[in-house]
Structure 1
């Protein structure tokens, strides 16, 4: 988590919730993995600690999302991936070939945002967007 993101314990206590090892494990896994499905978070936790079931992971991800600590994005037709919450959104670049996920600032939509506002009066909220293509590594390997 970034230094300006409140600690899990702070956020939980401020909301009248208990700090549990499972909640910390889930947040740590999301932090480490970057972009991961609930199943991948569960697998990462089980690699370190026994006894945390998948239902606990799903419930904890929902809780952490409601508290603004994590967010989720649909990067394809599969399960959503979870990531640390950002205050400005993220544009995800997803490679069709290798599945790599990279991020760029929503500012890449700056011209589109201004154009839509000027021409249509539409205020674009980028939030979490997934753009699909071929990453540079896969493109270089194809040459």
Structure 2
């Protein structure tokens, strides 16, 4: 579910929570950045306003995730990255060289999903998957 503005207010109020500027700022930063660590979200907010500390960002990210507004994933051995939650999962394509993150539909795993179910009785859940490689831009730069 992608949530902005008045929709954020509705979700928060439905859970008995107040709408605060910090909550909106964190959600906006996650939306604008696409995939970002808590530290990167904090930097983006501090570029707009002062007085929002990193602890507030972490707490707000946890709250927004518990409400189903955002999700996190681990794209490497580092800190988790946050992005808007969607109705469907997606596959992250992460470039080893430049760190760019792209998304593709999990349907790319349909054949594997069917095969695992038929051969092993295993139901594959491709909610969030990270695949690592080299993006087209980096590959082209090395020619």
Q: Same fold (TM over 0.5)?
A: yes
The question of whether the paired residues in 1 share the 8 Å contact of 2:34 and 2:84 is answered with yes
How far is the alpha carbon of 1:88 from its aligned partner? Answer: 1.2
1:87: Cα distance to partner? 1.6
Q: Quote how far apart the aligned CAs of 1:86 are.
A: 1.2
Q: Supply the distance in 2 between the matched residues of 1:11 and 1:3 (Cα, whole angstroms).
A: 9
Determine helix, strand or coil for the equivalent of 2:62: helix
C-alpha displacement of 1:3: 7.5
- Alignment deviations for residues 72-128 of structure 1 (CA, whole Å, 9 cap, x no partner): 010000000000001211100000000000000010101000000111111111011
Are 2:97 and 1:97 equivalent residues in the alignment?
yes
Query: SS of the residue aligned with 1:98?
Result: coil
Specify the alignment match of 1:40 in structure 2. Answer: 40
TM-score, normalised relative to structure 2: 0.96
For residues 28-72 of structure 1, what are the alpha-carbon distances to aligned partners after superposition, in whole Å with 9 as ceiling and x for unaligned? 000000000000000000000000000000000000000000000
Aligned partners of 2:89 and 2:111: how far apart in 1?
17
Displacement of 1:7 = 1.3
Q: Which residue of 2 aligns with 1:82?
A: 82
Match of 1:123 in 2: 123
The match for 2:8 is: 8
The aligned counterpart of 1:59 is 59
2:2–2:69: 8 Å Cα contact kept in structure 1? no
Aligned to 2:136: 136
Inter-CA distance 59–2: structure 2 relative to 1 (3 Å threshold): closer
Q: RMSD between aligned alpha carbons?
A: 1.5
Runs of 4+ in 1 over 6 A off after TM superposition: none
Q: Distance in 2 between matches of 1:45 and 1:2?
A: 20
